[in-house]
Amino acid sequence: MTYQKRMRAIRTALVAPALAAVSCSGTVPVVEGPGAEVRALTGAHTRAVWVQGDGSDPRASGVQLVLMGFDSHDGEGERVILGTPASYVQPLLTPRGDRIVFSSRVMPGPPEVFVVNWDGTGLQTLTSGFALDVWEHPENGSEWVYVGTDNGKGGFATVSRFPIDTPDRREVVWNKSAVGFDGFHVSADGRYASGLCPWPDATLAELPNGSMTKLGEGCWTSLISARGLLFWYFDGAHRNVTMVDVETGARWMVNINHAEGFDGAEVYHPRWSNHPRFLTISGPYNQGGPNQARTGGKQVEIYMGRFSEDFTAVEAWARVTNNSGGDSMPDVWIDLADSPHPSRPSGAIGPSHPTAAGETTGRPGGAAETGRLVVSVRLARAGSIPTPQEILPYRNALVVNDYEVVEVLRGTYTESTIQIAQWAIRDSRELAAARKIAGAAFTLTIDRYDAHAELEGERLISDGAAASLPLYYDIGQL
């Protein structure tokens, strides 16, 4: 029996009498007070950590940030862990949930990695570099941190790891390609990692320095062990993840922007918790402008979602924060021994007819028909066009324009309005035909957007105002 299994068995034995007492008495504990919504979602002791600013810095690029935390079981709600304004980037809860590893990236110096206790004490510098992930050794329970160094074009040239308490025991695990900072997650056995190798290549990497398998294009990759390895990558619309069953190659899309009040808005910073059924995001990003996620805003909060047992949808959401700041880069820890949700599902994973690797993906699953139409339309509202600088590191962007349907010349479409994604920026240059005048008439040949898998990693700019309508793609621009 591994260290993890032994410790979980001990914790389960300690918790069991209390659960039995509740069951025998017939009394169900009342879920109320700070943390009630999260406790109802996870059914277990849950902690969250994130970065907070004034809403103008959702990428945590500056130095006017604080480190925040939340504990579902202490009744205190949100609290400041480190309140001195500084650079705090991508905080990570350690496998035991009692410490936080985070990075700073104040230019022009190199980034640094720090660790601090949950209560804000014991702050210390671990090393230079950027913390990418934390990991528990399955044999002895030691806690490790994976660090990226030698930052350059495309990301970090070297990834090393070391036990958190003995940073001098550093060993290189990857230097075959550059690795982006957002999405390097290590499997429970330490053999694989997800990553952008480099961006936008969503890659499964075999550690140390083994094979590389590109699974798609996007950002904010994530990896976890469920029945087998599950991998996801975030799409350019900032609204969905493509889920990949690594063993079978099956893939399907899961929408992650339908928490209450989001109304089709963009989300950001998607991250799996240590429990495969739960993820966390920041959002909604709905303040307008040419690049919603970069716009930020004080309305951005931290949310947790629970995947369905087959991982085809997020079946429930809980709002973690409710404050007047701008929250970003969350990470969540759940006590696995306390959870009523098995961390290794026994049933089937994925939709009944998922697509195989390399096939066209649909939303939310299955091969999508092109749904080709030829339509006569009149521009009702032009989408906002970002500058090439505003979409970096993306080099291309599509903008969603709203049209009034004048006539359907080929195919079937019954709505009076239609949303069409059209290229606005290619190779970091705005296209001459991108800017259109309201009222202008066009005849367009269009396909369903989700029939074009090659678009999944491209930046899609949409305000989500008509998210209930199917999205089409102007193929006449090809």
Read off the pLDDT of residues 411-455 as tens digits, 9 standing for 90 and up.
999 999 999 999 999 999 999 999 999 999 999 999 999 899 889
At a CB cut-off of 8 Å and minimum separation 6, what does 478 contact? Answer: none
Percent of the chain residues topping a pLDDT of 70: 88
Q: How many CB atoms lie within 10 A of CB 220?
A: 22
pLDDT value, residue 33: 67
pLDDT value, residue 466: 66
Q: How confident is the model at residue 352 (pLDDT cuts 50, 70, 90)?
A: confident
Give the β-pairing of 185-186 and 155-163. unpaired
The whole-angstrom separation of Cα 273 and Cα 269 is 12
pLDDT value, residue 25: 30
| 396 has a pLDDT exceeding 60 | yes
Longest dimension (CA), the chain: 72
| 176 has a pLDDT exceeding 60 | yes
Query: Of 180-184, 298-302, 368-372, where does mean pLDDT reach its minimum?
Result: 368-372
pLDDT value, residue 354: 62
Under 8 Å between Cβ of 223 and 231: yes
| 42 has a pLDDT exceeding 80 | yes
Q: Which of 284, 229, 268 is nearest to 251 (CA)?
A: 229
pLDDT value, residue 353: 65
Classify 34 as helix, strand or coil: coil
pLDDT value, residue 227: 83
The whole-angstrom separation of Cα 229 and Cα 155 is 24
The whole-angstrom separation of Cα 203 and Cα 244 is 11
pLDDT value, residue 32: 62
Please provide the average confidence, as pLDDT, over all residues in the chain: 89
Q: How confident is the model at residue 153 (pLDDT cuts 50, 70, 90)?
A: confident
Which residues are 461's β-sheet partners? Answer: 399
For 64, the token pair is: 């006017």
pLDDT digits (tens, 9 = 90+) for 216-264: 999 999 999 988 999 999 999 999 999 999 999 999 999 999 999 999 8
pLDDT value, residue 34: 75
pLDDT digits (tens, 9 = 90+) for 304-350: 999 999 999 999 999 999 999 999 999 999 999 999 999 887 888 99
pLDDT value, residue 242: 96
Q: How confident is the model at residue 474 (pLDDT cuts 50, 70, 90)?
A: very high
Query: Of 17-21, 275-279, 452-456, where does mean pLDDT reach its minimum?
Result: 17-21
pLDDT value, residue 98: 98
pLDDT value, residue 258: 95
| 362 has a pLDDT exceeding 70 | no
DSSP state of 430: E
Q: How is domain 31-338 classified at the architecture level of CATH?
A: 6 Propeller (2.120)
pTM of the prediction? 0.85
The whole-angstrom separation of Cα 214 and Cα 193 is 12
pLDDT value, residue 100: 98
Helices (H) and strands (E) in the chain, counts: 3, 31
Q: How confident is the model at residue 109 (pLDDT cuts 50, 70, 90)?
A: confident
Alpha helices in 43-183 (DSSP H): none
pLDDT value, residue 404: 97
At a CB cut-off of 8 Å and minimum separation 6, what does 202 contact? Answer: 183, 194, 196, 214, 215, 216, 217, 218, 219, 221, 231, 233, 457
pLDDT value, residue 152: 86
